[in-house]
Amino acid sequence: METLVEFLRASIRLTTPLLLAALGGAYMQVAGVPNIGMEGMMLIAALVGYIVSFTTGSWVMGLVFGVLAAVFVGLIYAFFVLRLKADIFAIGITLNILMGGVAAYIIRQYYDQISMLLSPDAKLLPAVSLPFLADNKILNVLFNNYTILVPISFLLVLVTFIVFYKTPFGFWLRAAGSNQLAVSASGKSINGIRLAAFVISSAFCGLAGVHLSLGYLGMFALSLVAGRGFVALAIVLFGSGNPITVLIASLIFGIADAASLRIPTEVIPPQFPLMLPYIITILAITLMSRFARSFTSTEQK
């Protein structure tokens, strides 16, 4: 029982970065502009958040500047795609590589590190608890003492659902993706709506990145994101950006991630469990593509 609860707890912690990024990806997906740059946005937010945290000694500053860094990348992305009409896939992939280069350059040039940053001065995200659950042992382990972005990420599912389906903004957002003619006819600017989607989406990825460095690991590493941006993209594609499907898919991947880290390495070599999330992504996207409205990138060109 105890190990099961521990395992579920680990799953929830690992769900958060995927959930945050995928929810962000959903905003752009429903607006008809798939976010291919999530990997890079997460990485740069993780780095900037960590650096600001240990230079200012404040996790709030780290969180704010991490998110701002990701939004900055999102604005560059939007500028190239919306203003210069460049291919969204090409720019997204380029930005991912650019951010990888920028992150590697910064830690090498300014901190003389090759692959990671670890500072004792870093203030990590605080943990939060609901005191009335503390009495029950199992509930306490399962629901308490998470770093602050974990409960927030689950709250944001609800927020995103309301925004998408209960607000005018969500209506226009979805219209920009599915019925552009109607949007232009009503005098709204598609680019304006999509710009908002870029900003929100990158901010969510920023939260995901900061959670990885300041919440989950407590350090920064170049391999920290490890494809999560693309796993998040897969999650978004499953449900065509529906926040509830995103939540379910993120939980499945969170469980796979947790399982991959908890299979004892004495039994099998460590590489095999680590393959799990990637194999599940391929399997899932293969099976789901049969049902979901899949976007086929290159046929649009």
Partner 1 sequence: MKATNKIRRTIFQQGLSFISTIALALLLGFAMLWLNGSAPKDVLAAAGSSTFASSFRFANMVSRMITIVLVSLAAAIPFKAGVWNIGGDGQLAMGGFFAALVGVYVTGLPPVMHIGLAVIAGMIGGALWATIPAYVRLKFKANEIVTTIMMNYLAALVTGYLVNYPFRAPGSANAETSLVQESAVLTQMVPLSNLSTGLYIVIVMFILICFLDWKTSWGYEWRVLGSNDEFARYGGVKDNRMRFLSMLIGGALAGLAGTILVLGSYHKFILNMGGGIGFTGVLIAIIAANSPILILIVSAIFAILSNSTVGLEARLGVATEFSSILQSVIILLVITRSNIWAGITKLLKRR
Chain contacts with partner 1 (rule: CB under 8 A): 36, 80, 84-87, 89-91, 93-98, 100-102, 104-105, 108-109, 226-227, 230-231, 233-234, 237, 269, 271-272, 274-275, 278-279, 281-282, 285-287, 289-290, 294-299, 301
In the bound state with partner 1, the residue whose beta carbon lies nearer, of 79 and 143, is: 79
In the bound state with partner 1, the residue whose beta carbon lies nearer, of 20 and 233, is: 233
Q: How far is the CB of 17 from partner 1 (least distance, A)?
A: 16
Q: How far is the CB of 203 from partner 1 (least distance, A)?
A: 22
Q: How far is the CB of 88 from partner 1 (least distance, A)?
A: 11
In the bound state with partner 1, the residue whose beta carbon lies nearer, of 147 and 260, is: 260
Which DSSP letter does residue 124 get? P
Q: Is 165 left (phi over 0), alpha (psi -120 to 50) or beta?
A: alpha
Give how far Cα 189 sits from Cα of 37, 176, 195, 196, 228, Å. 23, 9, 10, 11, 32
Q: E strand or H helix at 133, and its extent?
A: none
Q: How far is the CB of 39 from partner 1 (least distance, A)?
A: 9
* Helices within the chain (DSSP H only): 2-30, 38-56, 59-78, 88-111, 137-143, 149-166, 168-178, 180-185, 190-210, 228-238, 243-262, 271-291
Q: How far is the CB of 126 from partner 1 (least distance, A)?
A: 32
In the bound state with partner 1, the residue whose beta carbon lies nearer, of 115 and 180, is: 115
In the bound state with partner 1, the residue whose beta carbon lies nearer, of 1 and 301, is: 301
Q: Is 146 left (phi over 0), alpha (psi -120 to 50) or beta?
A: beta
